[in-house]
Structure formats: C-alpha cells, structure tokens
Structure 1
Amino acid sequence: MNIVNKVTVRHLKENKRRSLVTIIGAIISVAMITAVATLGVSFLDLLIRGDIERNGEWHVQYQDANVEQLEAIEQDGNTEQLIVTSDGFADFDSTKTDTKHYLYFRNFEAQGMDHFPLALTEGRLPENANEVVISETLNNSSEETYEVGDTLTAGIGERMHSLENRKLSEFDALQYRDGDTIDEELVNVEQQTFDIVGIIERPSWEVSWLPMVSVVGFTDTATAAADETFDGYVVASKINNDLFEDAKAFAKAQGIPSVDFNSDLLRLYGATQNDNLRTTMFSLVGIIMGIVVIGSVALIYNAFAISVSERARHLGMLASVGATKRQKRNSVFFEGAIIGAISIPLGIVAGLGGIWLTFRFINTFLKDALNVGVQLEVVVTPMMLVVAIAVSALTILISTYIPAQKASKISAIDAIRQTQDIKLTGKAVKTSKWVRKLFGLEAEIGLKNLKRNRKRYLATVFSLVISIVLFLSVTYFTNNLKISLEMTQSDLQYDIQLHGGDLNEDSLEQYASLPDVTEAGFIRQAVGEAHITQDRLPEVLMEEIERGEAMLIEDRYLYNVSVYAMDNENFEQYAQQVGVEPTSFGQETPRAIVIDEVVYQNGMSGTIDETKTIKAEVGETIELLGSSINEMGEEIDPETLANVEIAALTDEAPTGVTTSYPGSLDLIVPMDALDELGFIAEDTYPFISLATSDPMKTEAEILEINEGGINVSNVFQRRQQQEQLILLMQVFTYGFITLISLISIANIFNTISTSIQLRKREFAMLRSVGMTPKGFNKMICYESLFYGVKALAYGLPISFAAMFAMHYALNQTFSYGFAVPWGSVAFVIVVIFLIVGAAMLYSIAKIKNDNIIESLKQENA
C-alpha cells in the first residue's frame, strides 16, 4: 500500500463520524438495490408458485397426439419432461342438480400427477389403470355416496356436438338448441369398472358451472393402441419467446393436430406472444431500475462530495508535499473501494434481512386477510446477487468519479485557505430587492448564504429533487399498475350467477332469502340493433373504417345493442349511483342509462384499451331496432322498436352486467320498460346475480333447490384470485413506496445535517455580529423555503417526465389516458417543506449552544 493510500486509511479512522455517515449512506443504497432485486425475484416466484398450484406445471400442450408422436415429443431437444394424459366423458345422472351431466375422466401417467394440482383429502392416488380418485363434488351432486374402496362403473366415450359434428372439451358448457333440448351426445362409449382409492378436492379445471364432475385415473402409453391419442404436456428446458414458434413448427412437422400454451405461466417466466406486453415489461423494469440507480448515486455521491469538501485541507497538504493529481484522484477512488468493501456485504445482508422481516409481516397478512395458499419466500439467486453487487459497485464508482476529479484539481493554497467552495463575486451573491421587502433582512441573508455555498446548496437541492422524483414515480407506477391489472380482470361484483331455465322475479325472492346471501339482483337481457350515424362514432371505429376493416351503410354503422332490464329495487339504487332520478323512467318516451365507456382487448394491437362506445349527450335519442337476422338465419329489414332517450352516460356497469366492445351498446332500463321497448319476456335471457358471505355453502343450497334447466356459475374463486392479486400487488408496491420514502428522508436529513455542520463557522460569525436567536431561526426557515421551492421547481417537471415515460411504456399494452396524481403531488409539496424544515431545525438544535470562539476557530479536517 503506497503512502497516499495509507494516509487515506488513517484519515478515515481519525474522522470516524464522517466515515460512518458515508458507510451508512452506501449501506442504505446497496440495501435498497438488493431489496428491490429480491422483492422482484421473490414476488415473481410467488406468482409462479401460485399459478402452478392452480393450473399445474407445464408449458406446452400437444393435443391428440398418438404414441409415435409422443415419442418424438419426448426426444425433442427442448423437452425436459413429458406428461401424458388422456380423457373421456361418461353419463352422470345427478339426482341433486340438473347442472351436472357428465363424469369427466382425466388420466395421468405416474409422474404427471406431481405436476398438476391434485389435493388428496382421503386415500391415495391411482397406481394402475383400474384405479381412480374422485372429486369431492361427486358426493355433493349425487344421492349415492362413494367411499374409498367402492367401485365405479361408467361408459366412457367422447363428447360430440350433435349438429356441428365437433368434439367438445371439458371447458365447453352444455350445448342447448331451443328450450331444454340438449344438443350433444357421447360416442365411442366403452364400459369400464374402477376401484376408488382416494378422494380429492375439486380440481382447478372443474369449474362449478360446467356440466361435469371430475374423476382422475391412470394411463399408460405402453399398452395403448396404435390409433389411441393422448395429450402431451411438456415442461420445457429453455423458456423464451422462440418457444411459441418452435412448438408450432414442431407440431406441424410431426402432424400433431393442435398445440396450446400455458400462457399465464410462460408470461411470468418472461415469455409472451404479445410483443407489446414484452416491451411494456422491459420498459417498466428499465425505468424503475434507472430511478433506483439514480437515487442510489445521489445518496452516495452526496456522501463523497461532502467528504471531499471536508478533506479539502488534507488533500491540499498532500499536494504541498508533492502528491500528483493522479495520486489525489486515486485517493478518493481508494476511499470508495474501502467504503464499497465494507458497505456492499453489509448492504446485501441488510437488504435481505429487511426483506425477510417484511415477508414475515406480509405472509401473516396474506394468510389472515387474503386467504392466499402460497406465501412469499425470500428467493436469492446467484444472478441476482451478481447484479446487486455489480450495480452497487458501479453506483459507488459513479458516485466517486466527480469528487475524485474535483480532488485532483485542488491546489495547495486554495485547499489550505478553504476558498474553493465559495466564489465571492457581486453577481454571484446578488439578490432581488423584493426578497428583503417581502421577507425581511433574514431572508436576504439566508439567500446570500445559499448563493455563497452554491455547491453545497445544489447538492442539497439535488438530493431533494431525487427524493421527489423517486416518490412520485413509484407512486405513479403503483397506481397505474393497479389500473392495468384491473383492466385485465373482468368486473365481477357477484359470487354466484344463475342463468337459463324459467328464472323470474319470484325466483329472485327465493334465492335472495337464502341465509348467507347479502345482495341479489334479477336481470333480463334482450338484444337488438341500432344504426349510428358517422358523427357519433368513436375514434376506434373510425380507424377501423379507414383501414377497411369495417364499413358504413348509408353513412351509418350497425351496432349490436344489449338491453339489460333490472328488477325495480336494484335499478333504483343503480340509477341513483350514476346520478339520475329513478322516477324519470316509465314515462311516455322510453329512457335508458347508456354505458358509454368500456375496456376491451384490441384484436389488432393486442393492447387492452379503454374507449368510448358512442359520442352522445344526455337527452339525445337512439333508434332501437329489432334483429336483422330471422330464426332461419336469413337477412331481413329490422323493425323499429322504439326511440330511446339517453337518461345518463356512465362507465359504471351494474352488478351482473359484463360490458361489450366498440361497435356495441349496453342500455340499462327498469324491468317495466321492456314492454315500452317492444320486447316480450320469452325473447329475453334471464339471470340472477348473488353476493354471499359463504359462496360454497350457498351453491350447495341452490343445487338442493334443483329447479330444472337452471345453470349455476360460482365465480367466487375466480374473483377471489383477482382481488388477492390486486391486494397483493398493492402490498408489494406500497411497501416499495415506504422503502423509497424512508431512504429519501434519510438522504435529505444526512445531506442537510452534514451541510449545517460544515457551516458552523459561518453561523458563529453571524451570531458574533449580533444576529438574535429569533432572527437566526427566521433565516433558517427562509432557507428551508428556498430549498423546497427550488427542489419542487426541478423535481416536479422531472417527475412528470418520468410519469409520462411510464405511461408510454404501459400504453404499449394498456391504453388509457394520462392523468397526473394531483393528490400525491400535493402530499409531496407539503412533506418536502416539513422534512426540510425538520432537518434544518434538528441540525441547528445540535449546534445552537456551540461556543462562538471555538466555532470560529474550527477547521474542517
């Protein structure tokens, strides 16, 4: 170690307070980088484990492949593991419900059962082709009770549509023609008998409203016939965007009929067919990492910049005894290396420890409040550690570069006189005469102090600006992430929906009286058409017309219209919610509430867009027409049903109503208005939506009522997953905001308190010439005001630019308008002045009792 480095080490030891402040600043920065990386990796791991728990661990599905094709799939270079399944349907005579018509047999090879969500409640999994396990819903849907050890006999075949001659899957609803006529049948039926060896929880593919109950069995390709087909689920060894095209090309080359992908799971691994989504993901990651690195550089840079200011005399003394510019510059780099060697390991440990404690709290919240099955685990990968160390080292290098260059230029005379930071020219310290007139002499002195110590002043302002940008950017990111997530989810405000059959308002009373039902609503849906003039079309439709994807007929566009007639009680509540008087309906002129703003997925761009459905004003009318297609499928001239007045325009859909897409309209009316609009009950589709405190119990009670032809859709689990994901995202992002806020506050306090310590001589001089404590406090308050105003003048525009960049990145996938979070902006403005004022007062309190003579004699060494 050369003599300059030895002197640097000795200087660090002798100035323990300054060295400790610098090390703590670096540790905080490294901890933040580590925490952000760990949060990202761990949260992604949680989503992956959650998806696997619900849908199984697989990436590509090759459908209807024979044994020879399965061998080719297994030999493919990107196949890490092949899971083979087969399936079939058997008639099921449910005595408890009319909604279950089939037993759905899904058979796995032995290793495949580990990759799909099969949760045993009793017994064991099947080990040969003569054994099965049954879903717990089988006993709930049948008078006959099956137990482990019983036998199950069924005729298993393929489910086919009677008229369209197409194969139906487990995800197809029961096919009806007119009324209660079922339009499907089983073919190629083979009678088989199985031993029941276990009972499982209802698997994820067994959706409550689908007409099937699951039975899981065992399959073996070794004994399969040559023409027998299976589904091959592949766990891929390499997951990237090439996987999609490679799998499609492989399927085509092997003659495999179709291929599907586990898109949700692949997206979590970073592979997606939607290039816009991929662009969005990488853009957001880049912006957030950029903000974090800038914040880290600011934190460490301030520490080193202040260090160089304090070491000015020390560096000048080195120069006076022959130290070269390179040696002085390297002394700062060497100091940075020492700080990095200490702070990086401690920062990584602190970051991981902080995340571990955070996860312990969040996991309690997940378990108690959200009922989430999987929990957050601290995931540390070698690549994550390498990235955290590399980014931290780069951050410290960048932070030391400017102070190092500054140190190399310090001359011996300037350093010993300590004049390098203060440039006294008349222009430099000139202030407006309005400052004294408006705020007094103390304000003018405070402003002159800032101008005299311009570099320290700018360092403090820079720290404040970074804090503003960090907080507003992350807050905007959080809010828009929530908006984007909500845009991808359907607006399910109910738990159970009943549809089909002879549902009516009397049925509503029957189901609403069930013990756990908290809200209930009855709706009849009717369909019609409307010819909308070109001047009332939204931009998205005009663009389609210009591209030739849609056409006008006599300057009009044909809209599909859905009319939702609500029961009177619920309609009154909805009308008041959107701001219209319920009693204004049912007059001579038919009126309707129009949902004029919808969220939909754009087929051309793949983006999720928010758009107007029609350009209209309250009081205008829409000519409602009947269908232009008759029962025979022939095109006819539609009859005019009614001229409907627009009573209100809203983006809020009532419970149970799923909004449409551009080129369609949703009209909400009271039940009595159906006659006015020319519809009869037989032409409508009735459904009841229920909110309940115990959806599973309520579903069982509804099945016991057993009204013919009524289908029960339990959407509780799907809605619960959506709400859990949104709440989990909020916990994650607001935790990140808290972390950023604490670091920003620490940064501000560190910068201002250190700056005040360096101005002890200056304050002592002011007190020595007669400045009173009151005047002194007044000067400090005005300095705080100047700091805050300057920081906001720079911080807010930069924050808006960062917000717009995030909005642009999100708009590659989610299309909605840019909105400034004015609430967060107002919060930042208030908090900045509070923090600056608190930091200044705290720092002054530490030096106010210092001896004036000793302070004037102080030397920064």
Structure 2
Amino acid sequence: MNIVNKLTLKYMKKNKSRTLVTIIGVIISVAMIAASSTIGASLMDMLKRSIIVQTGNWQSVWEEVPGSGVEKITGSPEIKKSLVSHTAGIGELPGSKNSQRPYIYILEYNSFDLSAITLKEGRFPKNENELVITTQMLETSGVTYLIGDKVKFTMGGRNIVENNVKIPLDNTYSFTKGEEFTKTGEKEYTITGIVDAKNKENSSRAAYVAFSGISENNIKSEESYTVYAGFNKLNKKIYNKSEKLKEESKAGKLAYNSELLLYAGITDDKEFNTTLTIAIGIVGSIILLGSVSLIYNAFAISLSERSRTLGMLASVGATKRQKRNSVFFEGFVIGCISIPIGLVSGYLGIGITFWLISPIMQNLFNVTVPLKLIISTYGFVGAVLFSILLLFISAWFPAKRASKITPIDAIRQTLDISIKKKNIKTSKLTRIIFGFEAELGLKNLKRNKHRYYATLFSMIISIVLFLTASAFSVFLKESFVMANAPINYDVSASVSGEDSEKIHRYTDELTNLNHINNAVVTESVNGTAVLNESMVSNDIKSRLEPEDGKYSLDVQIISMDDTSLSQYAKEAGIDEAKLKSNGMKGILINTFNLKEKHEYTTVTQLKIKPGDTIPLTYYYDEDKKLEGQIGIAAITDKVPLMLYGNQEYIGNLTILVSKQGLQSYVNQMEQSGMKLYPNINVYYITDKASELEKEIEAVKKNYPDLYSYTFNVITQRQKQERLSLIFSVFLYGFVILIATVCTANIINTISTGINMRKREFAMLKSYGITPAGFQKMIRYESIFYGLKALLYGLPVSFIVIYLVYKALSRNFDFIFFLPWVNILIAIISVFLIIGFTMIYAVRKTSKDNIIDVLKNENL
C-alpha cells in the first residue's frame, strides 16, 4: 500500500462520523438496487406461477398434429417436457340433471405434468380405459360417481338440422333446442380420480369435460393430436423453434402461452419489447441517479474537507494520478465494506417483508401462489456491477477535481470559496424586503460554490427523482387500467327462443331473484352499416379496407331497461327524452380503447354529430336484404355496465336505444317481411355470485324449451381487481423507496453542510450576530435553497415526465397529464425537510465553544 493510500485510510479513521455517513449512504443505495431488482423478479415470478396454475406450464401448443408427426415435437432435443392430447369424443351423460349440459366430452392425455389440472382424490388415468372426472361436474350435474365405479357412456355426435341439412355441432356450442345426438358406439371407463379443472370447464357449453389416458406407444398415425410443450431454454428463439417444429410435424395450427411468456420476459412484439426496455431503463436510471446523487455528495463534501491535505501532498511531490487515485481508493474501501452489507440488507429486508405480507396478500387477494423471494444469478451479478458502477461514477468528478488541487489553491481554498464580487453579488431588493440576515445567508451560500452546487444539485435531483418515480407509477397504473379494462358485472344470463311472451316471463323472473344488488336487462339485434368514406374516422381508414369506396361495419343495437337507461343517460350527461321521440334514436359509443396485440389505443369510429342518421342493412335468405336507418341522438365515450372497456376490433359499432325504440324497429322490420329475434341478456351485480347462479339454474328448469346459459365472471373480475391491487402495492412501494432515498439525500447533504460550516457560524457569532438574527439567516437560507431547487427541479421534472409518457404511449395511448398531487407533495416536502434539517443541525452546533471551533482546522 503506497503512502497516499495510507494517508487516505488515516483520514477516514480520523473522521469517523463522515466516513460512517458515506458508508451508510452507499449501503442504502446498494440495498435499494438489490431490493428493486428482487421486487421485480419476485413479482414476475408470482405472476408466472399464477398463470401456470391457471393455464399450465407450457410455452407452445401445436394443434391438428398427425400421429406420425407427434414424435417430431416430443422427441426434439429442444423440448424439456410435453403433453399429448387427443379427443376421445362426446357422449351422453347418464343421470345428468342439468338440462343445458347433458353430455360429457372426453379428452385423452399421455401426461398431466404440464396441465393446470389439479388432482383432488385418487390418481390420474394411465390408459384409455381409465377416467378422471371434475369437481365442477359433480357439483352441478347431479351425478354421483365414486372412485372405482365403472361407467358406460353412449358415444356419438351432436348435430342440428337446418333446411334439411344436418349441421354438426362441436363442443364449443351451447345446448341448442332441437339438436340431435347420433349414436356411434359405447365406451366403458373406470373412475380413478377426481380433479379440479376450472380452466377446461365452461358453464355455457353443453358438455362437461373428463380426462382419460393414452397408453405408452399408442399414438396412431391416422389420428389428429394436440401437443403442448415446455422448452429447455426460455428465450426469444422459442418462436423460431416452434415454427420449425410446426413444419416438421405438419401441424395445422400453432399457438403460444403468451401471458406466461410475457411474465418470463419473452414476447415477439418488437414494439412492446422496445417499450418494456425503455420502462426498465427508466427505473434503472431513476435508481442510478438517486444513488449517484446520494454518494456523489458524500465524496464531494469529503473532498472539500481534505483539500488542504491533498494540497500538502502536492507540495511534497504527489502527482495528479496519486491525488485522483486517493479518492478512488476511498471509494474502493467504502465499496468493500458497503456493497456486501447493502446486498445482504436489501435481500434480508425484502425477504422479511415478503414473509410478512405473503399470507396477508394470499388471504386478501385470494391468490393460490405465495410471494417468494427470488434472487436470480443475473440479478445478483447485476446488482454488484451496478453498485460498483455507481461508486465509480460518484467518485469520478471529485477524483478529477482532486487531481487539479495545487498547494496554493488548497491553502487559499480557491476551488471551494469564491470571493469574486460578481459571484456573491445579491439584489438590493433582498436586503430591503428580507433584511440584512437574508442577504448575509444568500452571500454565504454563494461564497462556497462547490458546497452550494452540491447541495443544490442534491435537492434538484431528489425532486426530479421523486416526481419521475411518481409519474412513472401513475402512468404505469393508467397503462395497466387500459390493458385490463374492468368488467363491471359479476354474473350474466342470456336467453333466446321463438316464444317472445315466454322469454319475457322468464326474464321477469330473473330480475326478481334474492341475491341481486343491481340488474340490467338488455335486448339486442345486429345489422350492417355501409358508410361513405366521409363518415368514418381516420382510425377506421387506417385499419379497414373499403369496398367500392365504402366501409362495411357491423352494428349492434342494444336496448336497456328503463331504469338502467335513465341512470346511464344521467351519468353520461345525455337528455333521455331525445331517445324516446319518433323513430328509433340511439346513443353512439364512438370512442373506446382498442386492443391490438400489446398496443392499447383510444380510437374514434365515425365523423358524425347528433342529429345525423346511420343507414342499416339486414341480409336474409342469402340474396335478400332490407334497408333501414337509425338516428343518432347523442355521442359518448362512456361504456355501459354490460360492455367490456377494451374492444379488439374497430369495425363494430355499438348503439344504445330505449326499449320502446327497439321494439318499434323490430315491428317495422317484421311488417317489411323480416322477423328479428332479439338476444336478451341480464347482467347482475351481486355479493353472492354462486348463490345467484343456483337461483338462475332453478328458474331455468321451468323453461326447458328456451335456450339459456349463465356466465359467472366474478372470478375473472376478482382476478383483475387483485392484480390491480398487487400492482399498486409494488408501484407505491417503489415510490416510497425513492422518496425515502431522496429524503435521506437531502438530510445527509444539508446536515453535513451545516456541520462543515461550524467555523463560519463561530466567526459570525464572534462578530456579534444575535441568536435571533442567526436563526433568521438560517430560515432564509432554507427558503432560498428550496426556491432555487424548485425553480430548476420542477421544469426538469416536467420534461422528464413527458419523456416517460412518450415512452409508455408507444403501446398505451392515454392522454398526457401531470401528477399534480405528487407535485404539491414535493413542493411542501422540500421546504419542510430543508427547514427541519437545518434547524436541527444548527441547534446541534450552537452548543460548541466558539474558540474551539475556530481553532479546528478540520471544519
């Protein structure tokens, strides 16, 4: 160890408090880096495991794979695990008491490892003669099968006859009145287990799902299979590998578990990848800047203290390199101590936090997977390298400045203290308005320019960091809301048929059940609008192709019950009376969020105004059509309860009308020779979705000749709400973390600066400044610091906030806004933190003896 390094160590030991403050600052920064990377990794891990529970642990699925091509996929060295699925067929479910679900649909699996099917009792099937049934079937079908039972099913196919043509119905179709079941044979199975398969069951379909096995080496070359696969390595090459395997296996279709891949950091959407990279870069930059500003100030202030020592070293022959390396060596020593402690502190702190909140989150948000502490190798190495980088950057400028210190400059302190008249000049108004003490405080700030700039820079960076982190979190929240547009109802029931009187009687019963908080009844008919180019927006023109200069759009006309329509019109600020004038007039929902892959854009459909009409066309009997029109009474962007906030196709127009308006239009169409059968739906808000669903099923049994099904979205809705809450917890946690670092940064910088000004304060007191005058000077210094920091910090913050917005708006097209609440918090906090810190630090120095302080050269 050379002499300069020995002197550096000696200085660090002598000034223990300064060294300790620097070490603590670095520990806080490193802990923040470690915690941030771990929070991100842990959140993604939890979301990934949650998706696996819901969909299965596979990345790619090939459908319509010939038996001869299955081995091409399952035997590929790229594939870690695979699941081969085959449709055994559909059969009648003997003893089913659910009139809308009289069938059983049997799938054969060679393995259940990659599936989201959970075994509740017994064991999984091993061959084609064994079967597991679902808890959902046992709960709602009325059958009572036990493990070990042998059950024989009549297998066959569903079909319906239209115009003397037999049309087959697959398992995606709901039960249809008048459909037939054609027997093809019988099959006996032994029940080996009971499983939970929520993701495979759909209450609107006519068949329950059950699972059989596939014997080893029993893949038949003439049959068609579906193959799910998990890859050995998760990276973007999955897409090319999957396409290659599709060609080699001659599969008909290829799909991906996009949500699982997304949470694993893999997507083929280049635009989304860019946005994600920018977002990660923003977070990393915020953390780096916060850490650098915290540590840089420690080194800069340390250099101010050591300037005389470095000057003396220069007088005895120390080179620029040795002086520069002295600062780097100080950083090295501090890093060796701080980085390990910071990493351990960060991981330990987050680990304890996760351990405490995981059970609460599981109970509160009803998530099945716990929150785990994930420390990835890349994350750990990245945290270490990131910490070394921030120490190097923080020490670079002070080290460069140290190399320039000459003996004369060090003695005179010309690098720190400027006494040029123009540099310390203040406005005459300062003394007139605020008094002598304020002018003195302002001159003192300007005199030691490097300490002043370091403190000011620290506060500006803290303001920018806090507001950027706040805006980033608010914008991410806005993006999350766009991506997960809320479902506004809990349960829906639909009904259709030819007996309108019976349908309305059934609907009346559905609106008078016990477990209802609110219910909206809708009737809807569909048509087509062929519009001139002048009527459609640029959003449509850029996405749809015209035919003969005109755009063909699908139109859904929806009526709402009178009470719901009145409430909706009031909330949307629309005069309901306009909807009930002569003819059918409606409210056009002209603006909504459009989802295109990972892009979410607010779009407008038509260039029309209230009072205009939209032409309607109805096609029937292949070559016949009827013309009509609908008047537009109002235009809005408010989405009613029964519609999703996001749409995936821009060519669907939605128009809301009154119940009477729709009925008159249906009558008009009927008089013109076309019978319209409106689709009727009831949308519920309820606290007890399961009980309400049972009530609906009980009513449904009294109307066996009507086609009706129930859709319970409470689970999906709760999932969105839970995800939103979890997302908010992590975002606000990030903001609080940054706010804590910013606060620590300001407190550390100001308190250290005050401590270094002990001689200055002692000198002022020796010249006779009164305690009241001294306190007044400190108060005005606080105000000047706060105003100057806000003067620079707010404009810079606004620019950075806008850049953050532009980065995220590449995929999420929401309107730019400023987080005014956070801005107000920042303004108030700056003055409070500066004021309290300076008052506290000054009070600590007030007890010092003036003579002792003036004699101390280290101050």
Deviation at 1:472, TM superposition (A): 1.8
Cα distance change, pair 658–689 in 1 and its aligned pair in 2 (3 A): farther
Tell me how far 1:355 sits from its aligned partner. 0.9
Deviation of residue 551 (structure 1)?
A: 5.5
Q: Does 1:668 align with 2:656?
A: yes
Structure 1 Cα separation of the partners of residues 625 and 576 of structure 2: 36
Residues 148 and 196 in structure 1, CA contact (< 8 A), matched pair in contact too: yes
- 1:652 is matched with 639
2:526 aligns with: 527
- Structure 2 equivalent of residue 567 of structure 1: 561
- Assess if the C-alpha contact under 8 Å between 1:431 and 1:444 holds in 2: yes
Distance 1:206 1:360 in 2: 34
Q: What is the aligned partner in structure 2 of residue 825 from structure 1? A: 823
Q: Hey, what's the Cα distance between the residues in 2 that align with 1:166 and 1:764?
A: 99
Percent identity reads 36
Corresponding residue of 2:672: none
**Alignment partner of 1:445 is 2:440:** yes
Deviations 1:119-177 (CA, angstroms, capped at 9, x unpaired):
2332232233322111112223333311222222224467789889998765x23375x
Which is worse superposed, 82-91 or 670-679? 670-679
Cα distance change on mapping 1:767 and 1:803 into 2, 3 Å: same
Distance 1:782 1:665, change over 3 A: farther
Conserved 8 A contact 1:494-1:656: no
Mapped partners of 1:720, 1:655: distance in 2: 16
| Alpha-carbon spacing, 1:350–1:158, altered in 2? closer, same or farther (3 Å) | farther
Q: 2-side partners of 1:836 and 1:739: how far apart? A: 19
The alignment partner of 1:860 has SS state of coil
Identify if the C-alpha distance between structure 1 residues 504 and 840 changes in structure 2 by more than 3 Å, giving closer, same or farther. farther
CA distance in 2 between partners of 1:484 and 1:822 (Å): 18
- What is the aligned partner in structure 2 of residue 257 from structure 1? 252
Match of 1:684 in 2: 678
Give how far 1:42 is off: 0.9
Shift, 1:351, TM fit? 0.6
**AA of the residue aligned to 1:652:** V
| Aligned mates of 1:168, 1:424 — CA distance in 2 | 92
Aligned partner of 2:226 in structure 1 is: 231
Matched, 1:610 2:602: yes
Deviations 1:713-759 (A, max 9, x none): 11122222222211111111111111111111111100111011111
In the alignment, what sits opposite 1:47? 47
User: Using the alignment, how far apart are the partners of 1:755 and 1:394 within structure 2?
Assistant: 26
Counterpart Cα distance in 1 of 2:762 and 2:665: 86
1:458 corresponds to 2:446 = no
Q: Which amino acid aligns with 2:109?
A: F
Q: Which shows bigger deviation, 495-504 or 393-402? A: 495-504
Q: Distance in 1 between matches of 2:169 and 2:437?
A: 84
Q: Deviations over 1:73-114 (max 9, x none)?
A: 1332311222222223223367433332431222222xx312
Structure 1 unaligned spans of 5+: none
For 1:633, the equivalent position in structure 2 comes to 622
Report what 1:408 is aligned to.
403
| Alpha-carbon spacing, 1:414–1:601, altered in 2? closer, same or farther (3 Å) | same
Deviates more, 1:655-664 or 1:747-756: 655-664
Shift of 1:54: 0.7
8 Å Cα contact 2:69-2:248 kept in structure 1: no
Do 1:505 and 1:567's aligned partners in 2 also have CA atoms closer than 8 Å?
Answer: no
Report if aligned partners of 1:593, 1:650 keep a CA contact under 8 Å in 2. Answer: no
State the Cα RMSD in Å.
2.7
When residues 96 and 471 of structure 1 are mapped into structure 2, their CA distance, relative to the original with a 3 A threshold, is farther
Partner-residue secondary structure (3-state), 1:854? helix
Deviations 1:276-329 (A, max 9, x none): 111111111112112211111111111111111112222223223332222221
So what's the TM-score if we normalise by structure 2?
0.92
- Alignment: residue pair count: 841
What do the CA deviations read for 1:544-597 (whole angstroms, capped 9, x no partner)?
A: 57xxx23675xx755443222111122222222222354565344765333232
Q: How far did 1:532 drift?
A: 5.7
1:290 is the counterpart of 2:285: yes
Structure 1 residues 823 and 634, CA, compared in 2 at 3 Å: closer, same or farther?
farther
- Output aligned runs, 1:200-279, within 5 Å: 200-279=195-274
Q: Is the 8 A contact 2:66 2:250 kept in 1?
A: no
The equivalent residue for 2:382 is: 387
Tell whether the 8 Å contact from 1:173 to 1:211 is kept in structure 2 after alignment: yes
**Contact 1:80–1:234 at 8 Å: present in 2 too?**
yes
- The SS at the match of 1:19 is helix
Aligned-pair distance for 1:534?
5.2
Matched residue of 1:77: which SS? coil
**Paired residues of 2:122 and 2:192 also in contact (CA < 8 A):** yes
Q: What are the residue-to-residue correspondences of 1:208-607 with 2, within 5 Å?
A: 208-501=203-496, 506-530=505-529, 537-544=536-543, 549-550=545-546, 553=549, 558-582=552-576, 585-588=579-582, 591-602=585-596, 607=599
* Conserved? CA contact 1:122–1:199, under 8 Å: yes
Query: What is the Cα deviation at residue 530 of structure 1?
Result: 4.9
Aligned-partner Cα distance in 1 for 2:106–2:478: 40
Please give the per-residue CA displacement for 1:762-803, whole angstroms capped at 9, x wherever unaligned.
222233333333333332222222222222232223323332
In the alignment, the residues of structure 1 paired with residue 98 and residue 485 of structure 2 have an alpha-carbon distance, to the nearest angstrom, of 28
Q: Structure 1 161/333 Cα, relative in aligned 2: closer, same or farther at 3 Å?
A: farther
Superposed displacement of residue 637, structure 1: 5.9
* Distance in 2 (alpha carbons) for counterparts of 1:630 and 1:840: 80
Report the Cα distance in structure 2 between the residues aligned to 1:798 and 1:551, rounded to whole angstroms. Answer: 50
Q: Which digits, 9 at most, give the CA deviation of each residue in 1:405-457, with x for residues without a partner?
A: 11122222332344430111111011222323333333222221221122112
Query: CA distance change for structure 1 residues 190 and 792 in 2, over 3 Å: closer, same or farther?
Result: farther
Of 171, 177, 192, the match for 1:197: 192
Compared with structure 1, are the counterparts of its residues 18 and 656 closer, same or farther at alpha carbon in structure 2 (3 Å cutoff)?
same
The 1:299–1:107 alpha-carbon spacing in structure 2 relative to 1, beyond 3 Å, is same
Q: Which residue of 2 aligns with 1:790?
A: 788
Check conservation: 1:499, 1:710, Cα contact below 8 A. Answer: yes
Q: Which amino acid aligns with 1:208?
A: S
- Contact kept in structure 2, 1:431 and 1:448, CA below 8 Å: yes
Aligned-partner SS, 1:644: strand
Contact 2:578 2:633 in 1 (8 A): no
Q: Distance in 2 between matches of 1:42 and 1:25?
A: 25
SS state at 2:636 partner: strand
Distance 2:554 2:193 in 1: 50
Asked if the contact 1:61–1:232 (Cα under 8 Å) also holds between the matched residues in 2, the reply is yes
